[in-house]
Amino acid sequence: MLLEKLKSNTTINAQEIAKLVELTSNTQNNIEALVKLNAETAANVVDKANLAYSKSKVIFLVVSILLTAISVITALAITRLLRNYMKQVNILAEKLSKYDFTAETDDEGKNEFTEMNGSLKTVIENIKEAIRTVKKCRNFKSKFRKLISSIRRISIIFARTCRDYATSCRRDIYSGK
């Protein structure tokens, strides 16, 4: 009814004005309460988002540190393993370069180094057999000298090749290839 009087430009009395002021005041209070509630809700949402972000950062940091630690430990273990294999090959190559054909190799396992050790073992056995055969044939002294000279050259070349291979492997390990 008050709204109809205002629309029709009818004068309103003091009681109606008071009621209008009260309604306006209530509306203003309700708007202020809604704005305050909206601000509180927004603050809560922002706080939750910041908390989730902080947790995510911590989780990412922990996972990154764990992965880095695992990578470093794995790299150290592999490096140590490769050093041991290279050391064995280098010792064998050194003995062969000094014409020590009594050197033994470890050819147990399933990797490139044990395969190489198996090949070295075969080479050593072949050289030993060649030496035995040559010793039996004393009448062929000049051939024996040539064979020994060839064996020496072959063993020196072989020892150098093994040493070069071991050096190459070390460089590859340290350069990260």
Query: What's the distance, Cα to Cα, between the start and end of the chain in Å?
Result: 90
The conformation of residue 106, written as its DSSP 8-state character, comes to: -
Asked whether 81 and 102 are in contact (CB, 8 A), the reply is no
Q: Which pLDDT tens digit goes with each residue over 122-174? A: 888 888 888 777 777 665 666 667 778 888 888 888 888 888 878 887 777 77
Provide the whole-model pTM.
Answer: 0.47
What is the enclosing helix (H) or strand (E) of 119?
Answer: helix 112-136
**What's the token pair of residue 5?**
């009087």
Q: How confident is the model at residue 45, as a pLDDT?
A: 96
**What's the token pair of residue 173?**
């390990």
Distance CA 98, CA 90 (A): 13
